[in-house]
């Protein structure tokens, strides 16, 4: 904590930064839906929404207005507390995790505090894992509180999926942490500066290709995106744990889903794709935010591409993949990384 400004000023700056970040994330949600609908349209040789505003850019606003003025509804004999809590919890959790995501280099400062992240804690990446693990409650509570069989089954399924793939994701991330020797996200990114052999960026994806692949699979499953969107498999479960949610409450589940997509894309960018590192970053540090956003957008694009391409897999296949493929491979990756770091400590930044 810098000592040359008062505590009050620090709190004020943090609040303003948080408000700006939340606003940006809500816009990212709105235009995430627009991007997905336009892109899926293109993938299916359609046009996608284009009548509301130029290029259909006002479509998310129309959807938002409609959803806000929909009937407010609670099913009969539902547990009202849990029914209301569930959507609020998932959104709050998704937003909270962004508190430790650095969007740009820490050298860019405003009033003596780094501009591009809200806080840098010693346990950075672990904190994100901890906060997102709370998100499972929103899903399971939403499924239970609705007093509907579809919802309950969808909630149980979804939670089982979340817990199963959390292991694989955690172990895949551990490989990067072993290389870096730290849990602080800004430091992990700083260690990915420079190039190998003069042309290849020194990103962790080239040291941890298997880890990156496993993380991507786990991230798809954790955000309940196709081909792992079993919780809302419409043939069997209507819409899974969201079945009895309508109007703004169901929109909040979608909000959490899209913010989670941005979150896992950000983590992938920070851990594997060099975060804000890119050309001309030394001369103009503010440019880092642009590189960061470009990489995150590329990852989001791949998410949407996969959704338009792959069919949904069966539930037993999902569990087999999680426990019999992703988990053992992640363990293998961890062992190999530990061995390599032991032999050539200079490969990672931590040593």
Partner 1 sequence: MGVASPVADSPFLVAKLEELINWGRKHSVWPMTFGLACCAIEMMEAGASRFDMARFGMEVFRNSPRQSDLMIVAGRVSQKMGPVLKHLYDQMLEPKWVIAMGDCSSSGGIFNNYAIIQGVDKIVPVDVYVAGCPPSPDNLLYGLIKLQGKIAREHPLHPVARQADLRELLAKAS
Partner 2 sequence: MEQVLFWLMAVVAVVSALTTISSRRPVHSALAFLVTLLSLAVLFLLLSAQFVAVIQIIIYAGAILVLFLFVIMLLNAQSGEGPQIKLPSQRPLAIALALLLFGGLSYLLLSSPLGAARPLPAGMGTVQAVGGILFNHFLLPFEVASVLLLVGVIGAVVLTVKEDEQPK
> What residues make contact with partner 2 under the rule CB under 8 A?
7, 79, 81-82, 85, 121-123, 126-127, 129-131, 133-134, 136-137, 140-141, 144, 152, 155-156, 159, 163, 166, 183
Residue 284 main-chain phi, psi, to 5 deg: -130, 90
**257: contact with partner 1 by CB under 8 A:** no
Rounded Cα distance between 229 and 79, Å, is: 26
Rounded Cα distance between 36 and 237, Å, is: 23
Residue 300 main-chain phi, psi, to 5 deg: -60, -40
Angle between helices 247-272 and 7-43 (to 10 degrees): 100
List the single partner that 44 binds among partner 1, partner 2, none, CB under 5 to 8 Å by kind: partner 1
List the single partner that 37 binds among partner 2, partner 1, none, CB under 5 to 8 Å by kind: partner 1
List the single partner that 137 binds among partner 2, partner 1, none, CB under 5 to 8 Å by kind: partner 2
CB atoms within 10 A of CB 125: 23
Rounded Cα distance between 271 and 176, Å, is: 7
List the structure tokens of 46. 């359609």
**Shortest Å distance, C-beta 254 to partner 1:** 10
**Shortest Å distance, C-beta 122 to partner 2:** 5
**119: contact with partner 1 by CB under 8 A:** no
Of 122 and 235, CB closest to partner 2: 122
Contact residue for partner 1 among 9, 18, 31, 50 (CB under 8 A): 50
Q: Are the CB atoms for 203 and 273 separated by under 8 Å?
A: yes
Separation in Å, CA 324 to CA 51, 140, 213, 217, 330? 47, 25, 15, 14, 11
**55: contact with partner 1 by CB under 8 A:** no
x/- track of binding to partner 1 for residues 58-77 (CB under 8 A): xx-xxxxxxxxxxx-x----
Q: What is the largest CA-CA distance in the chain?
A: 66
List residues near partner 1 by CB under 8 A: 37, 41, 44-52, 56, 58-59, 61-71, 73, 232, 234, 238-239, 242-247, 250
């Amino acid at each position: 904590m810098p000592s040359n400004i008062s505590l009050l000023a620090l709190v004020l700056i943090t609040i303003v930064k948080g408000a700006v970040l939340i606003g940006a994330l809500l816009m990212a949600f709105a235009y995430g839906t627009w991007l997905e609908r336009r892109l899926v349209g293109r993938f299916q040789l359609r046009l996608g929404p284009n009548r509301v505003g130029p290029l259909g850019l006002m479509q998310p606003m129309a959807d938002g207005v409609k959803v806000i003025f929909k009937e407010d509804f609670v099913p009969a004999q539902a547990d009202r507390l849990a029914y209301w809590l569930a959507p609020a919890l998932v959104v709050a959790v998704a937003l909270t995790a962004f508190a430790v995501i650095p969007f740009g280099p820490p050298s860019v400062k405003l009033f003596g505090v780094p501009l591009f992240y809200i806080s840098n804690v010693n346990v950075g990446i672990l904190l994100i894992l901890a906060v997102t693990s709370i998100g499972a409650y929103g899903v399971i509570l939403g499924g239970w509180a609705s007093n509907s069989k579809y919802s309950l089954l969808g909630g149980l399924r979804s939670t089982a999926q979340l817990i199963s793939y959390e292991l694989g994701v955690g172990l895949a991330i551990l490989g990067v942490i072993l290389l870096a020797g730290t849990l602080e996200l800004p430091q992990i990114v700083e260690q990915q500066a420079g190039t190998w052999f003069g042309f290849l960026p020194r990103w962790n994806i080239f040291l941890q290709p298997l880890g990156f692949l496993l993380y991507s699979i786990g991230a798809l499953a954790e955000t309940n995106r196709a081909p792992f969107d079993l919780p809302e498999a419409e043939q069997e479960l209507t819409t899974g744990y969201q079945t009895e949610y309508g109007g703004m409450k169901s929109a909040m589940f979608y909000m959490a889903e899209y913010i989670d997509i941005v979150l896992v894309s950000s983590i992938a960018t920070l851990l594997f794709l060099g975060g804000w590192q890119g050309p001309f970053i030394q001369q103009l540090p503010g440019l880092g935010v642009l590189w960061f956003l470009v990489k995150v957008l590329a990852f989001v694009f791949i998410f949407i591409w996969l959704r338009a391409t792959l069919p949904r897999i069966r539930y037993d296949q999902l569990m087999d993949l999680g426990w019999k493929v992703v988990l053992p491979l992640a363990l293998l990756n961890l062992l190999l990384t530990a061995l390599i770091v032991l032999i050539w400590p200079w490969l990672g930044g931590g040593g």
